[in-house]
Amino acid sequence: MKWTDSTHIAEELYDKYPDVDPKTIRFTDLMQWVLELDGFTDKESNCGERILEAIQMAWIEEYE
């Protein structure tokens, strides 16, 4: 998985943290959680605010 796989990342986060409302997450926490996902192989330096926003929006869709 890479940062650009926002939908897949969101699905993984939803499965790992089913009780977490993604609207309440800080981007610093979100980045760390993504980096810790099994199968995630991208570098932290390849991430930016837009990518985190895309992941958060995809997670919100999955959550709702």
Separate counts of helices (H) and strands (E) for the chain = 3, 0
Percent helix, strand and coil across the chain, each rounded to 5? 65, 0, 35
Q: CB–CB of 54/9 below 8 Å?
A: no
SS3 category, 44: helix
Task: Tell me the one-letter amino acid at 48.
Answer: G
Q: What is the pLDDT of residues 2-38, one digit of tens each?
A: 999 999 999 999 999 999 999 999 999 999 999 999 9
CATH topology classification for 6-63? Arc Repressor Mutant, subunit A (1.10.10)
Q: What is the pLDDT of residues 36-55, one digit of tens each?
A: 999 999 999 999 999 999 99
Task: Tell me the one-letter amino acid at 59.
Answer: W
